[in-house]
Structure 1
Amino acid sequence: MDGEVDWYVSNKRTGDPVVAGGNVFHYEYPVGDSEETPRLVCRDASDGDVTWTQPMEAGGTPVVADGFVVAAGRSGIVAFRTSDGVEQWRHEFDTRTARASTVIDGTVIVSTQILRQNNRKADVRAYQVADGTRRWKRSSPKWQATVAASDDTIFSLSAEFQVGTVLTARDLADGSELWAVEFDDNGIPEGPVVSGDTVYVAPDDEGVFALDTTSGDQRWHYGAKTSNIVGIAASDESAYLYDSGRLRVWDSNSGTERWSVSIGDEQHVSVPSTGVGSETIYLGTGGIPADFLALSRSDGSERWRSHFPEVTIADYVTSGLEGQPAVVDGAVYANAADGLYAFGQAQ
């Protein structure tokens, strides 16, 4: 693969793509003075053609399971049938904003909060994907959480700006707390990311922590000072940190650094999200215009790069990756400032 674009949706502001069942699901937002409304879009993964759309003012990323795509935002949480976009169930949250974070074992995990400066009354909720029945609700220690899941455990990372961060492990069955770890950072963390028996968190300016999923005990810690905008990813054998224009890779068991490579100007790094394929790592550079890179997982050598054009949005010139690439079924899908890309033959 040489970075050839299979298809491209131009002049659209999109959310991170999710790929399932031969379809790409993503949010789409109005550009400039457009009178279009925000919506959830389902596209054919092979050619990018629109299969169906539904109006939805949502945030984060939709989640897909068991023939449903679940979206959440200011209007609450809604489940649509993946085949035709027909609504199946809905919960309104009034003053709350919601984010569907992950789905596991027929259960979608949603984080919510009230948008206000002080006590936001943030929580994490679990719903059955099939019919929307709420299984449980638990308060978050800080503000709205980001969530990951593995086996029968939910990992919730809740932070408050300039106060700190808490990672909480909860039982999928009833939401009861299994363990919690506090981080004394500035409340701008990245994560959690789960792979195997390890959960990874990158607190603001505190490096990367690898914790045992069962106990919360620290397995290893990369202690160098990091910026407040980093990207982390993990596979079975490796953990990845993209920070200030450099990608670092560690052995997931020991924390021993395997290699690192400079990506570009550390002062102009785009959103540092990283997609991991079976043989290749995908990430974006900074600068205007910016690039999309494919690097070898074994040593970080460059396999190919593709150029993202610059685009002007509300008199602001920007370029580059804007979220997490999705690597699925022989292709990689990337949300960029100028639109949504599909690159073929990902590895």
Structure 2
Amino acid sequence: MVATGSVAGIAGCSSSCPDDGEPDPSHTVESDIDSTGFETVPDGSWPLPRFDATNTGYAPVGLKTTTPSVRWHADISTTSGDGETTGASAVVVADGTVMLTTATGVVALSLRDGTEQWRHNLTPATVPSVVDIGDEPAPPVIANSRVFLATANGIAAFEVADGAVAWRNTDTAGAGVPAVTDDALVVPTTDGIARLSTDDGRRQWTATADGTRLAVADSTVVIAGERITAVDAETGEVQWEHSDRSEGYPVVSDGTVYVSSTYGDLIGRSLTDGTEQWRLDDRRSLEFPVVTPDSVYAIERPGESSSATFAFDRVENGPPEPRWCSEINIGGAVTAAADDAVFTFQRDDGLTAFTTRLGEAVWQYPTEYQAISVAVLDGGIVSVSPDGTVVALGGE
């Protein structure tokens, strides 16, 4: 169910999307089919929870099918040592390996068939969930065939291939989701934001800033927390800050920082000096922005009423303009986009793929639990649910 054209905000707590029904996908993925894995392993990678250090949530790839099937699934225990169920982290994928954390460690799975490759017992840092399910383990990040983790006992690096320890830095505990570039790891810790060498874990600087999620772009680190703070990536010196409180990921694209504030505004700020460029402030509670070269996707969550997936056209020097929307059940999150599809989790209906241009519901994968994240590859998708169910979808 799709509505196109301009969409105006309305008062009250109901969605401003004029669409009045749930999406009706052309294909439903059957979840009870056994499969031995991918015949052809998908190309590409998804090395950070939101694809790259800028957190756009966009991979420039295609899925190669409008009728995917389950290629494999794996059940990872999310029970802590004291018997509590604490959930799983977002998944990351690189070098033919799928990785995630739980309360008790980090697990590596084969991208081909989901078999476990290795695991390490450790206690990851925890971060507030972006899908309102309490705290969750901080996910790993991958670069240069190494996986990096923020843990309660410091920062650790392992070789993706076999799990061998590359280095450990036990100066201070991790306190959020790392971001990694070719030569540096930037990570929230209990005494500030730290930049470490990816080669040996040596600390290069510590910035006085507070937040659990960050982005790195154009020699600037943007930290989301009680405030939005930007620091110089080379020195750690504060460049600017504003009181846009956000618990989600800051997103950076083409010199603009996209911030989804806890007050419901979607704000665009200059990466250079933090000045406000535009604001969507009609209190529609736009969350989870995913940014592509020409579009912005976000979930509108107006209180206890039905939510909606919104697609906006990016506008030079102005706020994004609505292109289409599709009403969904209460809850949900836009989590990723590819060249030909955008993906929304719905609390009752699972994972839905929409076409990017017109918002047609192409396929849906029903799940018992709302998934935490997806990793989008060239010819496949890997998703994880809070109960530790990891599923790979694909096909020709």
1:205 CA drift (Å): 1.9
Residues 196 and 345 of structure 1: is their aligned pair in 2 closer, same or farther, counting only changes over 3 Å? farther
| Cross-structure match for 1:109 | 186
Please list the CA deviations of residues 54-106 of structure 1 after superposition, one character each: whole Å capped at 9, or x if unmatched: 11211321111122100112121100011111111112256x44334211131
SS of 2:93's equivalent in the other structure is strand
Please list the CA deviations of residues 160-195 of structure 1 after superposition, one character each: whole Å capped at 9, or x if unmatched: xxxxxx212221111112222223xxx454220122
SS of 1:61's equivalent in the other structure is coil
Equivalent residues in 2 for 1:138-217 (5 A)? 138-140=207-209, 143-159=210-226, 166-183=227-244, 187-217=245-275
Cα distance in structure 2, aligned partners of 1:49 and 1:296: 32
Cα distance in structure 2, aligned partners of 1:60 and 1:196: 27
Equivalent residues in 2 for 1:93-132 (5 A)? 93=171, 96-113=173-190, 122-132=191-201
| Cross-structure match for 2:282 | 224
SS of 1:325's equivalent in the other structure is strand
- 2:393 aligned to 321, 343, 347, which one? 343
Gaps of 5+ in 1: 30-37, 114-121, 160-165, 310-318
- 1:261 aligned to 325, 328, 334, which one? 325
| Cross-structure match for 1:19 | 93
1:5 CA drift (Å): 1.3
| Matching of residue 10 in structure 1 with residue 75 in structure 2 | yes
Gaps of 5+ in 2: 1-64, 79-87, 125-136, 302-306
Q: Kindly, what percent of the aligned residue pairs are identical?
A: 23
| Matching of residue 233 in structure 1 with residue 296 in structure 2 | no
- Give the structure with the larger strand fraction: 1
Asked whether the 8 Å contact 1:75–1:97 carries over to 2, the reply is yes
Asked whether the 8 Å contact 1:246–1:260 carries over to 2, the reply is no
Asked whether the 8 Å contact 1:42–1:51 carries over to 2, the reply is yes
| Matching of residue 304 in structure 1 with residue 363 in structure 2 | yes
| Cross-structure match for 2:58 | none
Asked whether the 8 Å contact 2:100–2:108 carries over to 1, the reply is yes
SS of 1:98's equivalent in the other structure is coil
1:157 CA drift (Å): 1.3
SS of 1:85's equivalent in the other structure is coil
Residues 11 and 138 of structure 1: is their aligned pair in 2 closer, same or farther, counting only changes over 3 Å? closer
Asked whether the 8 Å contact 1:284–1:292 carries over to 2, the reply is yes
Cα distance in structure 2, aligned partners of 1:112 and 1:273: 28
Cα distance in structure 2, aligned partners of 1:60 and 1:273: 19
The residue type equivalent to 1:73 in the other structure is T
Which of the pair has the greater relative contact order for Cα pairs under 8 Å at 6+ separation?
2
- 2:168 aligned to 87, 90, 100, which one? 90
Cα distance in structure 2, aligned partners of 1:257 and 1:238: 9
The residue type equivalent to 1:71 in the other structure is L
| Cross-structure match for 1:54 | 120
Cα distance in structure 2, aligned partners of 1:169 and 1:72: 21
The residue type equivalent to 1:298 in the other structure is R
Cα distance in structure 1, aligned partners of 2:270 and 2:328: 33
Cα distance in structure 1, aligned partners of 2:214 and 2:365: 31
Cα distance in structure 2, aligned partners of 1:67 and 1:151: 23
| Cross-structure match for 1:279 | 340
| Cross-structure match for 2:7 | none
Cα distance in structure 1, aligned partners of 2:148 and 2:393: 25
Residues 15 and 175 of structure 1: is their aligned pair in 2 closer, same or farther, counting only changes over 3 Å? same
Cα distance in structure 1, aligned partners of 2:338 and 2:380: 9
SS of 2:273's equivalent in the other structure is coil
The residue type equivalent to 2:196 in the other structure is Y
SS of 1:256's equivalent in the other structure is strand
Q: Which moved more, 1:247-256 or 1:215-224?
A: 247-256
The residue type equivalent to 2:393 in the other structure is F
Asked whether the 8 Å contact 1:101–1:147 carries over to 2, the reply is yes
The residue type equivalent to 1:171 in the other structure is D
Q: TM-score, normalised by structure 1?
A: 0.81
Q: Alignment length, in residue pairs? A: 302
CA-based RMSD of the aligned residues comes to 2.1
The residue type equivalent to 1:128 in the other structure is S
Q: TM-score, normalised by structure 2?
A: 0.71
Residues 188 and 218 of structure 1: is their aligned pair in 2 closer, same or farther, counting only changes over 3 Å? closer
